[in-house]
Chains A and B, each alone.
Chain A
Amino acid sequence: MVIACPKVSSAAVLCLLIASGPASAADALTIASFGGQYTASQSKSQYDPFTARTGVTIKSVDYNGGLAELTAQVRSGTVNWDIVDVELQDLDRGCADGLFEKVDPAQLPAGSDGVPAIKDFVAGSLHECGVGTVIWSNVLAFSDPAFPDAKPSRIEDFFDLERFPGRRGLPKRPHAILEWALMADGVAPSEVYGVLATPEGLDRAFAQLDTIKDQSVFWETGAQMIQLLADGEVALSAAYNGRVQSAISDDAKPLKIIWDRQIWNADYYAVVAGTHAKNTAFDFVRFATGTVPLAEQTKYIAYGPVRRSSQPLIAPAIAATLPTAPGNFNNALAFDAAWWTAHGDAINERYAAWLVQ
Chain B
Amino acid sequence: MNAASPSRAGWALVLPLVAFIVIAFLAPIATMFLRSVHDPEIADLMPRTRQALAQWDGAGVRQVAFDAVSADLQEANATNQIGRLAQRLNREQNGLRRLIDVTARQLQQNPDTQLARIDPGWSDPDLWRILARVTSPWTGRHLLNALDVTVTADGALVRQEEARRLYVDLFLRTAWVAALVTLICALLGYPYAYAMAASGPSLRTLLLFLVLLPFWTSLLVRATAWIVLLQRRGVINEGLLAMGLISETGRLDLIYNMTGTIIVMVHVLLPFFVLPLYSVMAGLPTSYVRASASLGAHPLRTFARVYLPLTYPGVAAGGLLVFILSLGYYVTPALVGGRTGQLISNQIAFHMQRSLNWGLAAALGTLLLLAVLLLALTLPRLAERGGLRA
Chain A residues with CB under 8 Å of chain B are 66-69, 71-72, 93, 96-98, 167, 206, 213, 216-218, 231-233, 342, 345-346, 348-350, 352-357
Of the listed stretches B131-139, B308-316, B349-357, chain A binds: B349-357
Please give me the residue from chain B that is nearest to A97 by CB atom: B83
Instruction: Assess the A233–B256 pair: CB atoms within 8 A.
Output: yes
Residues of A contacting B169 in the complex (Cβ-Cβ under 8 angstroms): 357
Which of B91-99, B150-158, B201-209, B363-371 has 4 or more CB atoms under 8 Å from chain A?
B91-99
Give the distance to chain A from B326, nearest Cβ to Cβ, in Å: 17
Residue pair B339, A96 in contact (C-beta under 8 Å): no
CB atoms of A231 and B231 under 8 A apart: yes
Which of these, A97, A213, A233, A350, contacts B232 with CB under 8 Å? Answer: A233
Interchain CB contact under 8 A, A98 and B80: yes
B170 interface residue (CB < 8 Å to A) = yes
Tell me, yes or no, whether B374 is within 8 Å of chain A by CB.
Answer: no
B91 touching A356 by the CB < 8 A rule?
A: no
Complex contacts, B91 vs chain A, CB 8 Å? 345
Which of A96, A167, A232 contacts B83 (CB under 8 A)?
A: A96
Alpha-carbon distance A345/B338, docked complex (angstroms):
23
Contact B97 A217 (CB under 8 A): no
User: CB-CB < 8 A to B197: which residues of A?
Assistant: none
Q: Is the interface of A mostly helix, strand, loop or mixed?
A: helix
Q: Which residues of B contact A342 (CB under 8 A)?
A: 97-98, 101
A357 touches B232 (CB 8 A): no
Q: In the complex the two chains form, is A66's CB within 8 Å of B354's CB?
A: yes
- Whether B231 and A348, one on each chain, are in contact in the complex, defined by CB atoms closer than 8 angstroms, is no
Picked from B83, B165, B256, B350, the residue with its CB within 8 Å of the CB of A352 is B350
Q: Which residue of A lies closest to B79 (CB)?
A: A98
Query: Which residues of B from 92 to 141 have beta carbons under 8 Å from A?
Result: 94, 97-98, 101
For residue B246, CB closer than 8 A to chain A, the reply is no
Inter-chain CA distance A206–B163, complex, in Å, is 10
Q: Is the CB of B232 within 8 A of A349?
A: no
B302: min CB distance to chain A, Å: 48
Which residues of A are found within 8 Å of B339, using beta-carbon distances?
Answer: 213, 216-218, 355-356
Q: How large is the interface on B (under 10, 10 to 19, 20 to 34, 35 or more residues)?
A: 35 or more
A354–B163 contact, CB under 8 A? yes
Question: A217-B256, A231-B233, A346-B94 are contacts. A352–B82 as well, Cβ < 8 Å?
Answer: no
Q: B347, A356: Cβ atoms under 8 Å?
A: yes
Q: Give Cα A37 to B355, complex, Å.
A: 26
How many whole Å from A34's CB to the nearest CB in chain B?
15
- Separation in Å of the B25 CB from the closest CB of chain A? 20
State whether A93 touches B97 (Cβ < 8 A): no
Nearest chain A CB to B154 CB, angstrom units: 22
Tell me how far the C-beta of A40 lies from the nearest C-beta in chain B, rounded to whole angstroms.
Answer: 20
Q: Which residues of B (301-322) have their CB < 8 Å from a CB of A?
A: none
Instruction: Tell me which residues across on chain A come within 8 A of B342, comparing CB atoms.
Output: 355-356
In the assembled complex, 18 residue pairs joining A and B whose CB atoms fall closer than 8 Å, in A order, are A67-B356, A68-B354, A93-B87, A96-B80, A96-B82, A213-B339, A218-B338, A233-B232, A342-B97, A345-B87, A345-B90, A345-B91, A345-B94, A349-B355, A355-B339, A356-B340, A356-B346, A357-B169
Q: How far is the CA of A218 from the CA of B354 in the complex (A)?
A: 16
Closest residue of chain B to A206 (Cβ to Cβ) is B163
How far does the Cβ of B3 sit from chain A's closest Cβ, in whole Å?
A: 30
Q: Which 9 A-B pairs have the closest CB atoms?
A: A96-B83, A98-B80, A97-B83, A232-B233, A346-B94, A356-B342, A353-B166, A68-B353, A97-B84
Alpha-carbon distance A38/B369, docked complex (angstroms): 39
Docked Cα-Cα span, A68 to B338, in Å, equals 23
Report B295 CB to chain A, min CB distance, Å: 56
Is the Cβ of A345 less than 8 Å from the Cβ of B163? no
What is the CA–CA distance of A348 and B351 in the complex, to the nearest angstrom?
A: 11
Find the residue from B81, B91, B354 having the highest chain A CB count within 10 A. B354
Partner of B164 from the list A97, A213, A353 (CB cut-off 8 Å) is A353
Q: How far is the CA of A97 from the CA of B256 in the complex (A)?
A: 37
Q: How many angstroms from the CA of A80 to the CA of B323 in the assembled complex? A: 37
Q: How far is the CA of A315 from the CA of B83 in the complex (A)?
A: 43
Q: Hey, which chain A residues are within 8 Å of B82, CB to CB?
A: 96
Known contacts A66-B354, A69-B353, A97-B80; is-contact A349 B231 (Cβ 8 Å) = no
A15 to chain B, nearest CB (A): 25
Kindly provide the distance from the CB of A35 to the nearest chain B CB, expressed in whole angstroms.
15
| 5 additional A-B residue pairs with CB within 8 Å, beyond A216-B339, A356-B342 | A66-B354, A96-B83, A218-B339, A352-B347, A353-B163
Chain A: minimal CB distance from B358 (Å): 9
Which residues of B lie under 8 Å from residue A69 when comparing CB positions? 353
Across the interface, do B355 and A348 meet the contact criterion of CB distance under 8 Å?
Answer: yes
A71–B83 CB distance below 8 A: no
Provide the residues of chain B in CB contact with A349, threshold 8 Å: 164, 355
Interface residues in B268-312 by Cβ distance below 8 A to A read none
**A303 CB → nearest B CB, Å:** 24
Question: What residues of A have a CB within 8 angstroms of the CB of B98 in the complex?
Answer: 342
Contact between A233 and B353, CB atoms less than 8 A apart: no
Q: Determine whether the beta carbon of A97 is less than 8 Å from that of B81.
A: yes
Our pick among B94, B170, B232, B355 for the contact of A356 (Cβ within 8 Å) is B170
Chain B's nearest CB lies how many Å from the CB of A67? 8
User: In the complex the two chains form, is B97's CB within 8 Å of A357's CB?
Assistant: no
Shortest Cβ distance from residue A344 to the other chain B in the assembled complex, whole angstroms: 9
Contact between B83 and A350, CB atoms less than 8 A apart: no
Q: Given A97-B81, A345-B91, A353-B166, check contact A71 B338 (CB 8 Å).
A: no
CA distance A342 to B256 in the complex (A): 33
Do B83 and A93 touch (CB < 8 A)?
A: yes
Q: How far is the CB of A245 from chain B (nearest CB, A)?
A: 23
Contact assessment for B83 and A345 in the assembled complex, using a CB-CB cutoff below 8 Å: no
> In this complex, what residue of A is CB-closest to B353?
A68
Q: Which of A93, A217, A353, A356 has the most CB of B within 10 A?
A: A356
